[in-house]
Chains A and B, each alone.
Chain A
Amino acid sequence: MSEHASAESIARYASGDDLPGDRLWAVEAHLETCELCRLRLADLAPPQVTALTSAVWAGLEPVGTPARGRRRIARWATPSFLPWLAMTAFVVLAALSVDGFLPVDSVSSAVLLVAPIVPVLGVAAAWSRFMDPAHELVVSTARAGLQLVLRRTVAVLVTVLPVLLVGGWVAGASPAYWLLPCLGVTSLTLALGGVIGIRRAAVATAATWAVLVIGPAAVLGGVPGVLAPAASPVWAAVLVGGAAAVFFRSASYARL
């Protein structure tokens, strides 16, 4: 097909004029293989043809209203996260009120002690069938896996950290003490979740924390060693190690 159809024959073809049979055949055969000439033909198409094609295109448009912006959040947080958010705020408030009963000279704060496991409780809630009514459905879909785990964890951290920051500021617990342990425990939970399941891992870490840190601190008073600034390199190592374990075992999150 070295030669394009002439402008005259395309115009006559478009208008439906009587082209001689051999030329009609040649033009049609050429149009089938030449995009350029099809575009030239489209420019010359009479109004009744353009009206028809635009009607067909309009019919091919997706029907129905697309998702409204406010449901976009469901792609990150569990759609029914409001009760859980209220519960988180309640935990921090409860810790604050416990602080009110502590002696003034006590260095430790209940907010500081619970801060590292508040996101873990959120992660547990995001994957429990009590907090997520459609849990059974969600875990059978293609997106259930590490990606959705990370999305929901990010959503938990984004909502929890501001609450903790405000609570910590009121209680006088500096983020320097609890922020790194908080992220470290979360990463450890996700890594453990690849082995025993996210919900079980979250419950296990929260329980371990309660027994090993909150318990002794409540009895002895003072800032426990694991929350002292000196422990931050350890927490940084836990954070990186947990993240690496999650990354390398990403296939094991397919069943939640």
Chain B
Amino acid sequence: MVRAVSAAEVAPTGYAWQVKAEGLRVRAGRKMAVDGLDLRLGRGVHGLLGPNGAGKTTLIRSLATVLRPASGTLEVLGSPVSGQVDLRGLRRALGYLPQDFGYYKRFTVREFVEYVAWLKEMPKRDVPGAVQRAVERVGLADRADDRMKTLSGGMVRRAGIAQAIVNDPEVLLLDEPTAGLDPGQRVRFRELVQELGSDSCVVVSTHLVEDVAAACTDVVLINAGRLVFQGTPDDLAAAGGSDDVGDSPLERGYSALLGEAGGW
């Protein structure tokens, strides 16, 4: 089923970048996990790479309007996210899959996705169709009326992706979405992400370099809360020499750019 396109969606946008951060600092607990990050993201699939503790999850949480930036500017879809602002309009256009995706065990997949659609203030009459479409896109149509607690880990992950895309978000934030997916599901997931990236801004945090190679149009490498590199996967591969650590050109580029931080 094809979604109807409204006039508001084809209207020209009033912003140049879906995500724009300047000197962004975000605190995670006591630590400044994102510390002076400058970033511009447009349409397409952006792979967010970095070692553990680089600030990937903190960055995604602040993009999802969960965390308030400590300083700097952050604009998502042209509207500021820091300070006391009305976030409702922006939040309606966001999709977010948290790293530790929590769900209600007694809900069926359909009920859960419907509940999220309600939370995202989707028009009531659009909800059943949009839920069905989201569930079909992640390949869970045959399990849609099963309770969440009967699903396997990979299926829960796919239900999490379904809830994130139910409102056809303009900015889709996926934090470690491929964790728990088997190779076949990962291939299908990459296809879905490429499809979504053709008309929205998709940010995928991952630690799997092959995900980036296969699905992303753009790589964002961060370390210690700062931007280290932004470019295409080919640029990342070109940054690595034959004496760098890694089994593939991308991995060698990754370790060349991170230097010492790329190791243990």
Contacts from A to B (Cβ < 8 Å) = 62-68, 71, 74-75, 79-80, 129, 132-145, 251-252, 254-255
Contacts and interface: CB of A to CB of B under 8 A. Distances in A.
Interface stretch (B23-31, B43-51, B125-133, B250-258): B125-133
B103 A142 contact: no
Contacts, number: 103
Contacts of A144: 91, 119
B66 A143 contact: no
B129 A62 contact: yes
Nearest to B175: A136
B107 A140 contact: no
B111 A62 contact: no
27 contacts: A62-B125, A62-B128, A63-B129, A64-B110, A66-B127, A67-B111, A67-B118, A68-B111, A71-B114, A74-B115, A79-B107, A79-B115, A80-B105, A129-B102, A133-B103, A134-B103, A136-B66, A136-B98, A142-B89, A143-B119, A144-B119, A251-B84, A254-B86, A254-B87, A254-B88, A255-B65, A255-B66
Interface in B199-241: none
Interface residues of B, number: 44
Nearest to B104: A79
Q: Which 8 A-B pairs have the closest CB atoms?
A: A133-B102, A141-B119, A64-B132, A142-B91, A64-B128, A62-B128, A136-B98, A142-B121
Given A74-B115, A144-B119, A252-B84, A134 B132 contact: no
Interface of B: 1, 61, 64-66, 68, 84-89, 91-92, 94, 96, 98, 100-107, 110-111, 114-116, 118-121, 125-129, 131-132, 144-145, 163
A59 B38 CA distance: 48
Given A142-B121, A254-B86, A137 B116 contact: yes
A71 B88 CA distance: 24
Contacts of A143: 118-121
Contact of B111 (A71, A137, A138): A71
A131 to B, nearest CB: 11
A158 to B, nearest CB: 20
B88 A145 contact: yes
A64 B129 contact: yes
Contacts of A134: 102-104
Contacts of A79: 104, 106-107, 115
Contacts of A145: 88
A85 to B, nearest CB: 14
A139 B116 CA distance: 11
A81 B77 CA distance: 35
B116 A141 contact: yes
Nearest to A135: B102
Contacts of B64: 140
A62 B125 CA distance: 7
Contacts of A63: 1, 128-129, 132
A252 B68 CA distance: 12
A78 B145 CA distance: 21
Given A62-B126, A71-B111, A80-B104, 13 more contacts: A62-B128, A63-B129, A66-B127, A135-B102, A137-B96, A137-B163, A139-B66, A140-B94, A140-B96, A141-B91, A143-B118, A251-B86, A254-B87
Contacts of B132: 63-64
A15 to B, nearest CB: 32
Contacts of A139: 66
Nearest to A74: B115
A129 B102 CA distance: 9
Nearest to B89: A142
Nearest to A133: B102
Nearest to A67: B114
Contacts of B111: 67-68, 71
Q: Considering residues A62, A129, A134, which has the most beta carbons from chain B within 10 angstroms of its beta carbon?
A: A134
A140 B85 CA distance: 14
B94 A71 contact: no
Contacts of B119: 137-138, 141-144
A205 B92 CA distance: 33
A65 B128 contact: yes
A135 B104 CA distance: 11
